Structure 1
C-alpha cells in the first residue's frame, strides 16, 4: 500500500524558482521556522518566505554564522539549536512555545550527506540522527504550536537519494551492518519521506499537513563537502574546472530553482486539502512502477518519481514508533 502520488500539473517545472512559485502569495501574519535557513536552499527559502510577509525563525547551531548569512534580510529571528543534540532541540522548542505564537510553516531543510561514520552522544548514526531524528523530535515538540495555527504545513526536505536505501528499521544505526556513507544517506532521506506520510496522517484532523520534497541536485550548497571533485565529475555534476553544471532537466539546479519545490509545498493553494506526498519540480511526483524500478535506479536522467518504499504508510507508521522510542528520554 502506498500514498496517492498523482501529479497536479501545477504549471511550474524543474526550472521554476522559489520567487516565481511564491508570486502573489501573501504570508502576512504567518510564522515560519526553517531549519538550515542560513545556507543553500534553506537561506533562499527564508528570503522568499520573508519577502512574502512571513515572520521567520531560523534555528542554528552556529548563531553568529547564521546572523552573518541572514544580514540584509530584515525580520528574521535566529535562535540556538543543534539537531543532533536532543537537549538543544527541546530548549529551542520550549523557547518557541513560551512565546505563545502559532506555527503556520515548518520547513525541515537542514541536513548532512555522505559523512564518515559518526555517532551522537546516544550512539546513533549521525545522518539518521540529524536528518531524521532531530526533525522528528522538533516537530513532535512543536505540535501544539502547529495545531494552534488552525492550518499548518510541514515541509520535509528529502531527496532522490532515497533510492540508495530504504530505512532499516532493525538496524537504523549500523550496529550490525557495515557502514556505507551513501547507504546511510539514503536511509535518512527515505526516513524523511516516510516521516511526512505518517505526520500527515496523524496531523490532518488538526489541520496539520505534511509534504516531502526532492529539491534537485545543487552542488554549491555545502551539502556535498564530503565528496571529492573526482566523484562530482563522475556524476556529471561539475565541469572539469570544478564549476557546477546547471541543467534543470537533469535535476542539476541553481539554488533558487532548488528551493522552488519547498516554497511551493509551503505556500501553494493547489495543495489545500492534500498532504502526505513526495514532491519534486513543483508538483507531486509519480510513483515509480515496480517494473521500471531497476532502469530508474540506473538512470541519472530518469524522470521525476518516488520509490514505493519511501511512501509506504505501513513503513511510515513503524518508523514513527521506532523514532518515538529512540528520542524518548
Structure 2
C-alpha cells in the first residue's frame, strides 16, 4: 500500500540535525552503503551512521581523496567505484555480494549539479547518468543483499531542484533539444524521486522500502562548483562576502542539518511500514501545487513540497522501463 504524500508529522524541524534524528537509536548489527560518502552530506551521513553503531561502506571514485576525507571517522570501509562506469558499479556490487551479507541501508547520495554538457562512453548525459542511472544500476545489482536484510531502506537524495524539469522520457540525454544545465539537473533529481516511487512499489513484498528527499540548500559542499559565486549571492544563498547564509527556516542549512533528512529516512522507526514518499525538513513533504512559470534558486527558499509529476506512478513505471532498457538489465526481480 502506498504512503500518503503528506507530513506525518515527525516531531523534528528544519533545524534538526543528524544527532537529533539518531538520539536513542542503536544501529549495531546494521550494514550501510553510502555513495558520495567522502564529502558534504554523504560524509556527514557516514559519520552519523558509524556513530550510531552501523557498519558503513563508502564506494568512491578517488580512493586517495576519500581516505584523507574520512580519516577522522573510525572503521569506514572504502571501496573503489565510479558512478559513470557500469563495469565499476558491477564490480563493487559483486564484491559486496560475494560476502553473502545483508544490506540494511543504501543511501544514494552521490551527485553532480548544473555542469556543462558532458557524455559518458555510452553517450549518456552526465547528470542523468550519474545522479539516476548509476544509482539505478547499483541498487539493482545489490538487490539480493537488500532482500536478505529482511527489512531494508533505499534512500535517494533528490532536491528541490526537481522543480526545474520533469523527466523527458523521449529525450533524456538532450540529443534532440538544446542542453540546459539546470534542466538536466532538474530532470535527474525528478528521476531520483520517481525511482523511489517505483522501487517502493516493487520492494514492499520483499521488505525493501524506498524514500527520496530534499536536504535543503547547503553551500560549501562542492556540489555548487559549477555555479558562479555571484549567482549564489544574488539568490540569497551566500552573503555579500561570499559566506554561506544559515537560515534553516528558509532551507539554508549546515551539513548536519542538511543530512538529517536522509539519515531520518534511512533509520528512523517512525517510518516503519511507510515508503515511496519524498521528504524534506525531516518529515514527509506535502504535495505541492503544479508550478506555474519558471523556477529559480531563490524560489527554493520559499517553496515547499513535491511537484505532482515527480510522484506520478505511471511516469515512475515509464522511467523504470527506460532505465532497464538503457542499462540492459532487469532490475529488482
- TM-score band by shorter chain is over 0.9
Which string of whole-angstrom CA distances, capped at 9 and with x for unpartnered residues, describes residues 37-78 of structure 1? 110010000000001000000000001111111112111100
Asked if the contact 2:3/2:275 (under 8 Å) is kept, the reply is no
Alignment correspondent of 1:225:
225
Matched, 1:27 2:16: no
Measure how far apart 1:9 and its partner are: 1.1
**Deviations along 1:98-125, whole A, 9 cap, x unmatched?**
0111000000000000000000000000
SS of the residue 1:154 aligns to? strand
User: Structure 2 unaligned runs (5+)?
Assistant: none
What is the match of residue 134 of structure 1? 134
1-side partners of 2:76 and 2:265: how far apart? 21
Q: Provide the residue aligned with 2:292 in structure 1.
A: 294
2:21–2:264: 8 Å Cα contact kept in structure 1? Answer: yes
What is the DSSP-based 3-state SS (H/G/I as helix, E as strand, rest coil) of the residue aligned with 1:242? coil
TM-score normalised by structure 1 residue count: 0.97
Aligned residue number for residue 279 of structure 2: 279
SS of 2:153's partner is: strand
Residue 264 of structure 1 is matched in structure 2 by: 264
SS of residue in 2 equivalent to 1:168: coil
Query: Matched residues in 2 for 1:27 and 1:309: separation?
Result: 35
Tell me the SS of whatever aligns to 1:227.
coil
Per the alignment, do residues 245 and 25 of structure 1 end up closer, same or farther by CA in structure 2, a change over 3 Å counting?
Answer: same
Structure 2 Cα separation of the partners of residues 93 and 72 of structure 1: 26
Report the secondary structure of 1:32's partner residue. Answer: strand
Which residue in 1 is equivalent to 2:240? 240
- For 2:72 and 2:29, the matched residues in 1 are separated by 21
1:49 aligns with 49
Structure 1 residue 4, shift from structure 2 partner: 2.3
SS in 1 for 2:82: coil
Question: Counterpart of 1:155 in 2: which secondary structure?
Answer: strand
CA spacing shift, 1:235–1:183, aligned 2, 3 Å: same
Which stretches in structure 1 are left out of the alignment for 5+ residues? Answer: none
- C-alpha distance in 2 between matches for 1:84 and 1:314: 27
Partner of 1:109: 109
Note if 1:124 corresponds to 2:124. yes
CA distance in 1, matches of 2:3, 2:21: 25
Partner of 2:40: 40
- List 4+ stretches of structure 1 deviating above 6 A: none
Which residue does 1:168 correspond to in 2?
168
Provide the residue aligned with 2:155 in structure 1.
155
> How far 1:294 sits from its partner (Å)?
2.5
| Shift, 1:185, TM fit | 0.1
Q: CA–CA distance in 1 between the matches of 2:209 and 2:242?
A: 40
**TM-score normalised according to structure 2 size:** 0.96
Q: Which residue of 1 aligns with 2:15?
A: 15
> What's the CA shift string for 1:246-284, capped at 9, x where partnerless?
111111110000000000001111101000000000000
Q: Which residue of 2 aligns with 1:182?
A: 182
The aligned residue for residue 325 of structure 2 is: 325
User: For residue 212 of structure 1, what is the aligned residue in structure 2?
Assistant: 212
Q: State the number of aligned residues.
A: 326
